[in-house]
Amino acid sequence: MSLNQGEAGNFARILTESLPYIQRFTGKTFVIKFGGNAMTDAELQESFARDVVLMKLVGMNPIVVHGGGPQIGELLERLNIESEFVDGMRVTDEHTMDVVEMVLGASVNKEIVDSIHRNGGRAIGITGKDGQLIQARKLAGDWSREGAKDIGQVGEVASIDTDILTMLIGSDYIPVIAPVAGSTDGKTYNINADLVAGKLAEVLQAEKLMLLTNVAGLLDAEGNILTGLNTQQVEELVGQGVIHGGMLPKIQCALEAVQGGVSSAHIIDGRVAHAALLEIFSDEGIGTQISSRR
């Protein structure tokens, strides 16, 4: 089927609009946190896979970090293991950690890898344990105070050794990383995927950190998408209470990455097909961009 004149013109416009972005970002590293609806919707997962395959083919270096909370909760329910949360974090005892590691490091990770392969790319799935990529420590908190609930094996990033990623970036492979890591105390820890993505972007001095979410971006009090923000503006919005609730940790992660040397961070709507490409290759973008520029 041939394109009509209007369709052909629109197609040509899209291609020419993307060209300067391809030229600008060739050889640059992009750390993308993949989660939310995009992970549980088969069509969105396929569109995301095509996005990262195309990025790799035109010379960019995408690195995927994924979550998997809904899949973990589903398996725990099937195993009759009750899920308990403290301040939005899953309480993770030893048995729960076994399930978390199995879901994130095996089923979810390999599903994303397979999706990339189906769409013509080459991917390698790893966890933070592989190649000692990430060293974890127990998430800081006063768990000993009276009445406090110990959240167990929930961790944060202690250090990152990028040797294995440097090797993969220089190859044809796309790294797909599960946010599970070991520690010096011999335990395995589950780390928030946004946090892992942010720290990886910072250590690698990535061009962009991209966090796929289930919202259109950062919204103001009237529900309008805020974009083109600098770090000072973001800090002011936090102080004013405009940024609150579940968005606050994501924004804090993005803010720290930019302050640590990442060129820009993006909060984008993973419910939109090809959201990553729309944010990178179009003039308008599709979410909230945060940079250090004032």
| Per-residue pLDDT tens digits for 9-36 | 565 666 777 888 888 999 999 999 998 7
Please name the residues in contact with 193: beta carbons below 8 A apart, sequence gap of 6 or more: 33, 35, 65, 66, 67, 68, 179
Could you tell me the maximum CA-CA distance found in the chain, to the nearest angstrom? 71
69-78: which pairs have CB atoms within 8 A and are 24 or more residues apart? 69/35, 70/39, 70/40, 71/39, 71/40, 71/103, 71/107, 71/108, 72/99, 72/100, 72/103, 72/104, 75/99, 75/102, 75/103
Angle between helices 94-102 and 69-78 (to 10 degrees): 120
pLDDT tens, residue by residue, 32-75? 999 877 788 889 999 999 999 999 999 999 999 999 988 998 99
What pLDDT, on a 0 to 100 scale, did the predictor assign at position 171?
A: 87
CB 1 within 8 A of CB 29: no
CATH architecture of 31-48+58-192+199-205: 3-Layer(aba) Sandwich (3.40)
First-to-last C-alpha distance (Å) of the chain: 48
Single-letter amino acid, residue 288: T
- Residue 206 sits at φ, ψ, to 5 deg, of -65, 155
Structure tokens belonging to residue 241: 């209470």
Q: H-type helices in 156-230, by residue range?
A: 163-169, 193-204
Radius of gyration for the chain, computed over Cα atoms and rounded to the nearest angstrom: 19
Q: What 3-state class would DSSP assign to 271?
A: coil
Q: Which residues pair with 266 in a beta bridge?
A: 210, 289
pLDDT band at 7 (very low <50, low <70, confident <90, very high): very low
Comparing 276 with 31, the larger pLDDT belongs to 31
* Domain locations in the chain as residue ranges: 31-48+58-192+199-205, 207-294
Handedness of CA 210, 214, 217, 218 (dihedral sign): negative
pLDDT digits (tens, 9 = 90+) for 174-227: 999 999 999 988 999 999 999 999 999 999 999 999 999 887 777 777 777 878
Cβ count near 80 (within 10 Å): 6
Lowest mean pLDDT segment, chosen from 12-21, 84-93, 95-104, 228-237: 12-21
Q: Collapse the DSSP code of 40 into the 3-class scheme (helix H, G, I; strand E, B; otherwise coil) and give the result.
A: helix
As a whole-number percent, the residues of the chain with pLDDT over 90 amount to 50
Statement: residue 8 has pLDDT above 60: no
Rounded distance, CA 82 to CA 73, Å?
Answer: 9
